[in-house]
Amino acid sequence: VKDELDIDLQKQIMAAFDSNTKLLEHLVNALFTGTLSTNYSDPSGPSDAEVEAVGSICAFLHVMFSTLPLDVTMTALAYRTDIVPALWNFIKRCHENQRWPYFSKYISPLPVDAPGWLLPVSVFCPIYKYMLKIVDNEEFYEQEKPLSLKDLKALVLILKQALWQLLWIIPSHTSPSQKALPNPLGLKKMSIDSLKSQARIGLSELLTQLQDWNSRLPFTAESDFYSQEATSENFVSQAILGNTRASEIIKLAPFLAPFTIRVKIFTSQLANSKQSTASHSALTRHRFKIRRSRLLEDAFDQLSLLSEEDLKGPIRVSFVNEHGVEEAGIDGGGIFKDFMENITRAAFDVQYGLFKETVDHVLYPNPGSGLVHEQHLQYFQFLGSLLGKAMYEGILVDLPFATFFLSKLKEKSNFLNDLPSLDPELYRHLLFLKHYKGDLSDLELYFVIVNNEYGEQNEEELLPGGREMRVTNQNVITFIHLVANHRLNYQIRGQGRHFLRGFQKLIPKEWIDMFNEHEIQLLISGSLESLDIDDLRLNTNYSGGYHPDHEIIDMLWEVLKSFSSDNQKKFLKFVTGCSRGPLLGFEYLDPKFCIQRFSFLYIYVLYLFCWKIHLELLFNLELVSPAWRNMETVCPPRLLA
């Protein structure tokens, strides 16, 4: 009987809130105001009565998340109540005064063996995460709303500790990456595993969002997101093995491990993939002739026909010059790297019409690409596989992408705070509406947006019936969200989907999910820092009589250090076919860079041969050098090269 009454009462309460979220807003504001407003300054932390009251509120809201429509509930709680700052202050005070052990004791729905912070964190994280979707940069960084930057630093540290405890110290029987729902039977005893699973998901998603904000403009040290335990060699080896707790942590919360650790895991995954396809690759080596005058078209016509397995294998190219003559030379990998640099530069050039540049000179798909190329979607799939091949082979390419486009590689949606990079003027207009103090209906705005591509304008509804739906103070947040979604996601959905399809032929989603958008850009293009000559020297092989302490070798390194950054990149491209070094250093260059000693006569004959028939020959990863006698003779030939 008690069960039936509980369920019947629950249905009545839910029906009341479902019909009018204002009841929920007023209730939450009243409860938190009455419970917390006078106790912030208490040096002893929350009282027993306060702990019990907050626990009851959190238990009630936890049930709401699985009962009411989630978007409606989150919108009401995130934007029309003060629950985020109020609950954060409670969490902080409990943490500072070590009040968590008392929490389970006073909260009847919470299992006695549950960590005290489990329930408040399970409620706080999804609400704050939802709020961050519509928080703008000015609110977050300048006005410091809803939390100060100082509090955000403390929040990251507290949430990181809680997440690590759930994932490593007290893991449940449920897989960490498995999403579990809260108990639908209301305020009765909650399943400890269900609560842990809910908290893990909420913590990881909120910390991921906060790391994204921190990558955009730091408010705390990047290392504050790392767990010290995730830097150990044992953790790395377990993560590489797979089907371990360490690998599950990397899937759910990769930010807990430093970037270099995750790159090592990524590199290991690439090596394992190459090894698994080695037998197929040995039997099917693909070699293509590419006309320099039709670089992109020839590559598209031939490489688009390759299967996923073929794309992972060795691909060799030979260039055909303007006279139709195939350029001689053996591609040991250097010519292919040169080909990859050249074709990516051509394909992603805004003049070709597939990509556009933002005001910050970063690339994103052209929403009007279909007006320029009939086969534009097939080209986007091809370009996705090109970028995937570059990453698969460890070839860095100079392609600065917009963050909101890199999100597509993670199958993520973009929100308001991503809009300034694409359209700063539209972003300012939306902020004006968001903070407008008057009656928005007087502005006579409707749920429509005007698209303008190559002079063609068309009006599009943001919602069915949008032409008749006026923007008001009550629905302006929805309008802002829909406009940002249209520009950042909807307009380039086809291009992004096909690009991703090609990219994932070589790089699976679970690999790229280890990195945020800023880190993905580093995987694509490497660091903008100058070439590390000392690192290159440490990882160089010698032959033909040269050795690390040879006088000529000392002069060579001294000359390279004196080069400008631009000339250092040209040198690297000359000897490796790529102007950027490996992301983790030259230790990971495969094969190793080698300096080979030859006589003047050998080099002179080779030079005459190449000059006579107009060939471009790349000595992949090998510098052929004569025995120069002094610095003055070393520098000019290297600069000419």
Answer with the residue of higher pLDDT: 492 or 111.
492
Long-range Cβ contact pairs of 504-508 (< 8 A, separation 24 or more) = 504/384, 504/388, 505/308, 505/311, 505/384, 505/385, 505/388, 506/308, 506/311, 506/312, 506/385, 506/388, 506/389, 506/391, 506/392, 507/388, 507/391, 507/392, 507/409
Say whether pLDDT at 75 is over 80. yes
Lowest mean pLDDT among 55-59, 369-373, 394-398, 536-540: 55-59
Which of 39-48, 52-61, 479-488, 569-578 shows the highest mean pLDDT?
A: 479-488
Say whether pLDDT at 280 is over 70. no
pLDDT of 492 reads 97
Lowest mean pLDDT among 131-145, 286-300, 330-344: 330-344
pLDDT of 587 reads 84
Q: Are 112 and 101 in contact (CB under 8 A)?
A: no
Say whether pLDDT at 465 is over 90. yes
Say whether pLDDT at 401 is over 90. yes
pLDDT of 610 reads 47
Residue type, 38: T
What is the arithmetic mean of pLDDT over 533-556? 88
Lowest mean pLDDT among 76-80, 111-115, 366-370, 620-624: 620-624
In the structure, what pLDDT confidence band is assigned to residue 555 with cuts at 50, 70 and 90?
confident
Distance CA(389)–CA(311), nearest Å, equals 7
In the structure, what pLDDT confidence band is assigned to residue 619 with cuts at 50, 70 and 90?
very low
In the structure, what pLDDT confidence band is assigned to residue 318 with cuts at 50, 70 and 90?
confident
Instruction: Tell me the C-alpha to C-alpha distance, in Å, between residue 32 and each of 25, 37, 40, 58, 317.
Output: 11, 7, 12, 11, 68
What is the arithmetic mean of pLDDT over 493-520? 97
Q: In terms of DSSP H, where are the helices of 435-576? A: 476-485, 493-503, 509-512, 517-525, 533-538, 551-562, 565-576
pLDDT of 3 reads 39
Which of 12-26, 77-91, 105-119 shows the highest mean pLDDT?
A: 77-91
Q: In terms of DSSP H, where are the helices of 319-437? A: 334-347, 369-372, 376-392, 403-409, 419-422, 424-434
Q: Are 418 and 136 in contact (CB under 8 A)?
A: no
What is the arithmetic mean of pLDDT over 47-53? 82
In the structure, what pLDDT confidence band is assigned to residue 24 with cuts at 50, 70 and 90?
confident
| pLDDT tens-place string over residues 561-601 | 888 888 888 888 777 767 777 877 888 777 788 888 765 55
Say whether pLDDT at 294 is over 50. yes
Answer with the residue of higher pLDDT: 39 or 214.
214
What is the arithmetic mean of pLDDT over 399-411? 96
What the block records as the tokens of 171 is 């893991």
pLDDT of 620 reads 44
Average pLDDT, the chain: 83
Say whether pLDDT at 158 is over 90. yes
pLDDT of 170 reads 77
Q: Is 450 in a helix, a strand, or coil?
A: strand
Say whether pLDDT at 612 is over 50. no
Say whether pLDDT at 640 is over 60. no
What is the arithmetic mean of pLDDT over 193-201? 88
Domains of the chain, start order: 2-223 (no CATH), 278-526 (3.90.1750.10), 533-640 (3.30.2410.10)
- Give percent of the chain with pLDDT exceeding 70: 80
What is the arithmetic mean of pLDDT over 477-487? 95
Say whether pLDDT at 177 is over 50. no
Answer with the residue of higher pLDDT: 524 or 338.
524
Answer with the residue of higher pLDDT: 217 or 16.
217
In the structure, what pLDDT confidence band is assigned to residue 42 with cuts at 50, 70 and 90?
low
346-374: buried (b, 16+ CB within 10 Å) or exposed (e) per residue?
ebbeeeebbbbebeeebbbbbbbbeeeee
In the structure, what pLDDT confidence band is assigned to residue 64 with cuts at 50, 70 and 90?
confident
Q: Is 316 in a helix, a strand, or coil?
A: strand
In the structure, what pLDDT confidence band is assigned to residue 618 with cuts at 50, 70 and 90?
very low
Say whether pLDDT at 484 is over 70. yes
Cross-strand bridge partners of residue 287: 316
Most distant CA pair in the chain: distance in Å? Answer: 101
In the structure, what pLDDT confidence band is assigned to residue 462 with cuts at 50, 70 and 90?
very high
Say whether pLDDT at 409 is over 50. yes
Location of structure tokens 């082979």:
393
pLDDT of 621 reads 46
Say whether pLDDT at 111 is over 80. no
pLDDT of 106 reads 64
What is the arithmetic mean of pLDDT over 178-190? 43
Say whether pLDDT at 9 is over 80. no
What is the arithmetic mean of pLDDT over 342-351? 93
Distant-in-sequence, close-in-space partners of 96: CB < 8 Å, separation ≥ 6: 45
In the structure, what pLDDT confidence band is assigned to residue 7 with cuts at 50, 70 and 90?
low
Distance CA(156)–CA(206), nearest Å, equals 9
What the block records as the tokens of 49 is 């009565």
pLDDT of 412 reads 94
Say whether pLDDT at 4 is over 50. no
Say whether pLDDT at 204 is over 60. yes
Q: Residue 153: exposed, middle, or buried by beta-carbon count in 10 A (0-12, 13-18, 19+)?
A: middle
Instruction: Tell me the C-alpha to C-alpha distance, in Å, between residue 273 and each of 104, 267, 294, 306, 323.
Output: 47, 10, 32, 17, 40
Q: Are 582 and 394 in contact (CB under 8 A)?
A: yes
